[in-house]
């Protein structure tokens, strides 16, 4: 786990290894959301790039009670 500091303007720097793993580049948009007490940041993908990536996925899987 990597620790980052929040600046006086409430900004953070995403570590290089995480940017590389997610393919985040300068000027790219990311989504930020709250999940319980956590802040979740994930790379925004264009609909053109993600179109069809779930084709053939089995949606009949058992789910935990705390998951939607």
- Of 44, 40, 5, the C-alpha closest to 24 is 44
Give the pLDDT confidence of 7-51 residue by residue, as tens digits: 999 999 999 998 898 888 899 888 999 999 999 988 887 777 777
Domain boundaries, the chain: 1-49
Q: Which fold has domain 1-49?
A: Pemi-like Protein 1; Chain: D (2.10.260)
Residue pair 27/44 in contact by the 8 Å Cβ criterion: no
In contact, 39 and 32? CB cutoff 8 Å: yes
Q: Decide if pLDDT at 68 tops 70.
A: no
When comparing pLDDT for 33 and 59, which is higher?
Answer: 33
Give the number of residues written for the chain.
68
């Amino acid at each position: 786990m990597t620790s980052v500091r929040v600046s006086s303007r409430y900004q953070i720097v995403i570590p290089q290894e995480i940017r590389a793993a997610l393919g985040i580049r300068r000027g790219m948009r990311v989504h930020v959301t709250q999940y319980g007490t956590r802040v979740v940041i994930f790379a925004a993908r264009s609909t053109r790039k993600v179109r069809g990536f779930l084709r053939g996925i089995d949606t009949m899987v058992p789910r935990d009670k705390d998951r939607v």
